[in-house]
Amino acid sequence: MRVGPSLLLVPALVMPLAGQALTDRFKDAYKIWDVALERGEGATVRRATEALLSREGLAVSASDYNNMRALVATEDYAARACILEGAWEDALGHLQKAAASANENLKASEITFGRIRKDHETKVAEWKAMVEKQDKRLKEIEGQAGWTAEQIGLRNQLRSFLEEHRAAIAHSEWSLKEIDALLAQLAKEQATYAASLTSWQEFMAKEKQEIAQAGSPSKYVADKFEQVKADEARPRYDRLSYSRRLLRMEPENADLKRFVSGLMGGSDETEKPKTAPRKKKAPTKKR
């Protein structure tokens, strides 16, 4: 038994910008969502994430790569919450939005940062040529004996010029590395969500096949429930997700309800043998 391909949580957001409502809300809330998911409280996380998406998500601009990353991450949490609740069709919807947003973010960022990258490369080339020329002049002056006041002033100017331009070159080269790292991260996220979406689509199609092969939803639920109960090595998240999925197919299944309650820390009597109630002793008659 498996609950299908896992969703990859988007890594920590980098270079946060001021005034980004969704990014700020996400950073404030994701640790709380992690705790709730660990407890099995998918409904709580779903309400919170979907409310945040409806309030802040619609205002996110495709040109704001950092807010777009927060949008993808929030959709990810919403999908995971739906999976935990057994609402896999809804999870697929959130995952589709996450994949689409990750793809849009990569394309927009490649254009925006591509222009910035080209500007940095042009400036670095220009500055390096200037530094090379002025460094040669400085060495010529320093190689002469008996400097005049004019030569001393020119030497100091050249030293200051070289220091400033070398610092600018170093900063631009650092910026180029940061841009490359960011675009690589966005490309990785885009590929991850695209692959996860494909895997979940295949998984859902397989579920439909298995239900058809079982002959009826009730037979499918019964067979899968036995697998879930027997597969104790599986993570609690997976067992809870699958159990709730089956319970959506058979909402009145008392055994499933007790099993889910047991996974959540309540009483689980699905495995307890039924014992006959004790007979009350007849009261002794007083003489």
Together in a domain, 220 and 239: yes
Together in a domain, 116 and 193: yes
Together in a domain, 114 and 200: yes
Is 7 within 8 Å of 80 (Cβ atoms)?
Answer: yes
Together in a domain, 143 and 197: yes
Q: What is the pLDDT, as a whole number, of residue 278? A: 53
Together in a domain, 53 and 119: no
Together in a domain, 32 and 101: yes
Residue 4 lies in a domain: no
Residue 277 lies in a domain: no
Candidates 269, 259, 199; CA nearest to 232 is 259
In the listed set 108, 131, 155, which residue is the last one of a domain according to the structure? Answer: 108
Q: What is the pLDDT, as a whole number, of residue 14? A: 36
Residue 123 lies in a domain: yes
5 pLDDT more than 90: no
Query: What pLDDT, in 10s, does the model give residues 73-123?
Result: 999 999 999 999 999 999 999 999 999 999 999 999 999 999 999 999 999
Q: What is the pLDDT, as a whole number, of residue 11? A: 34
187 pLDDT more than 50: yes
Together in a domain, 119 and 196: yes
Together in a domain, 231 and 171: no
Together in a domain, 102 and 115: no
Lowest model confidence (mean pLDDT) among 3-7, 74-78, 122-126, 181-185: 3-7
In the listed set 60, 93, 108, which residue is the last one of a domain according to the structure? Answer: 108
Q: What is the pLDDT, as a whole number, of residue 111? A: 94
Residue 65 lies in a domain: yes
Together in a domain, 153 and 179: yes
What is the span of the domain harbouring residue 186? Answer: 109-204
**CB neighbour class for 216 (10 Å; exposed up to 12, middle 13-18, buried from 19):** exposed
Residue 278 lies in a domain: no
Residue 272 lies in a domain: no
Query: What pLDDT, in 10s, does the model give residues 191-240?
Result: 999 999 999 999 999 999 999 999 999 999 999 999 999 999 999 999 99
* Tokens standing for residue 29: 């809330």
- CA angle in degrees (0–180, nearest 5) for 187-80-219: 125
Residue 162 lies in a domain: yes
Burial 113-148 (b: 16+ CB within 10 A, else e): beeebeebeeebeebeeebeebbeebeeeeeeeeee
Together in a domain, 200 and 114: yes
CA distance 99 to 248: 26
Q: What is the pLDDT, as a whole number, of residue 284? A: 52
6 pLDDT more than 70: no
Domain count, the chain: 3
In the listed set 80, 108, 136, which residue is the last one of a domain according to the structure? Answer: 108
Together in a domain, 42 and 30: yes
Residue 268 lies in a domain: no
- CA angle in degrees (0–180, nearest 5) for 143-149-155: 45
